[in-house]
Amino acid sequence: MNLIDEKTKSKIYRIMFENDTPAGRAFDIGLIVAILGNSILIIAESVDTIRKSYGIWISTLEWVFVAAFTIEYVLRLLVVKNKFAYLLSFYGFIDLLAILPAYLSLFLPQMRILVIIRIFRLLRLFSILNMGSYIAESTRLLKALIESRIKIIVFLFSSLIIIVLVGAVMYIVEGPKNGFTSIPESMYWAIVTVSTVGYGDISPKTAMGKVISSLLIIIGYGILAVPTGIISSELTNASKRHRKGKVCPRCHHKSYSRNDKFCSKCGTAFRD
């Protein structure tokens, strides 16, 4: 027996999964507020002073959010046609993780730490705010990273060699008396220095050590520019390939590359 008739299911589906109606937009705004409010509570609860002063209120509000998210999850499950597909979908899995740890903590108190997983519900904002249109751009960036992987690996390997060599030299020059107690400790200093972070927990005391440190900082500025140049170059090439892509004769969707054999939108084969 159906708990909700088909007409009501259709209305709820449009409200929860579509945003082209006033009710749908209102639901999305309410969901954004709930997700952000719940995330703020989780962040605030991690602060000892706030937890000690307002722990009861925070706990109560968290259960209010859990109840709201549970009702939302059940309704989504009831109105979708393919329930199994929703359960296995990315957002379906995130929605379940938003409520499951809270109920598990009732039987296993040590599971309460997993409520932090609920903050991953922020990912649903990508769906609510229609940010899927930016997927193509992120795909292009990912493709640029893949295309430049060999150059980046060579760059990282070269950087590692510099760090090992400088770390070994600083261990000899400065020694344990100045905080360089081992080669790994000296390598840590080299990484912090070459990245221009400079924590200051270890610093050279000798004149030679300061000279090496200065040279390493200068080298660091150059090192930071290398991966940026590599990825920028590949992004430029990817953009050129994208502009030279093929146009689908059926749906007129522009392909990502001239090497594509099929349209990524409708699957129509391209004619060479």
| CATH code of 149's domain | 1.10.287.70
Q: Are 184 and 126 part of one and the same domain? A: no
Q: Are 155 and 238 part of one and the same domain? A: yes
Q: Are 187 and 128 part of one and the same domain? A: no
Burial string for 106-140 (b: 16+ CB within 10 Å, else e) reads eeeeeeeeebeebbebeebeebeeeeeeeeeeeeb
Q: Are 232 and 146 part of one and the same domain? A: yes
271 lies in some domain: no
Domain boundary among 135, 161, 176: 135
Q: What CATH number did the domain enclosing 66 receive? A: 1.20.120.350
Q: Are 131 and 184 part of one and the same domain? A: no
Distance CA 196, CA 68 (A): 47
Q: Are 16 and 128 part of one and the same domain? A: yes
Q: Are 16 and 90 part of one and the same domain? A: yes
Distance CA 158, CA 190 (A): 14
84 lies in some domain: yes
Domain of residue 232, residue span: 140-242
Number of folded domains in the chain?
Answer: 2
Where does 18-148 have alpha helices with state H?
A: 22-45, 48-79, 83-88, 90-97, 100-107, 124-128, 135-147
**Helices 207-243, 135-147: crossing angle, 10 deg rounding:** 120
Q: What is the pLDDT of residue 215?
A: 92
pLDDT tens string, the chain, 272 residues long: the values are: 466 777 888 888 888 887 777 888 888 888 888 888 888 888 888 888 998 899 899 889 989 999 999 999 999 988 888 888 888 888 888 888 888 888 888 888 777 777 777 788 877 777 666 655 555 566 667 777 777 788 888 888 888 999 999 999 999 999 899 989 999 999 999 999 988 887 888 889 999 999 999 999 998 888 878 877 777 777 777 666 555 555 666 665 555 455 555 665 555 665 65
118 lies in some domain: yes
Q: What is the pLDDT of residue 118?
A: 77
Q: Are 188 and 172 part of one and the same domain? A: yes
169 lies in some domain: yes
Task: Determine the straight-line distance between the first and last CA of the chain, rounded to whole angstroms.
Answer: 55
1 lies in some domain: no
Q: What is the pLDDT of residue 18?
A: 75
Domain boundary among 135, 170, 189: 135
Q: Are 131 and 148 part of one and the same domain? A: no
Q: What is the pLDDT of residue 125?
A: 73
Distance CA 207, CA 28 (A): 62
Q: Are 128 and 191 part of one and the same domain? A: no
Q: What is the pLDDT of residue 247?
A: 63
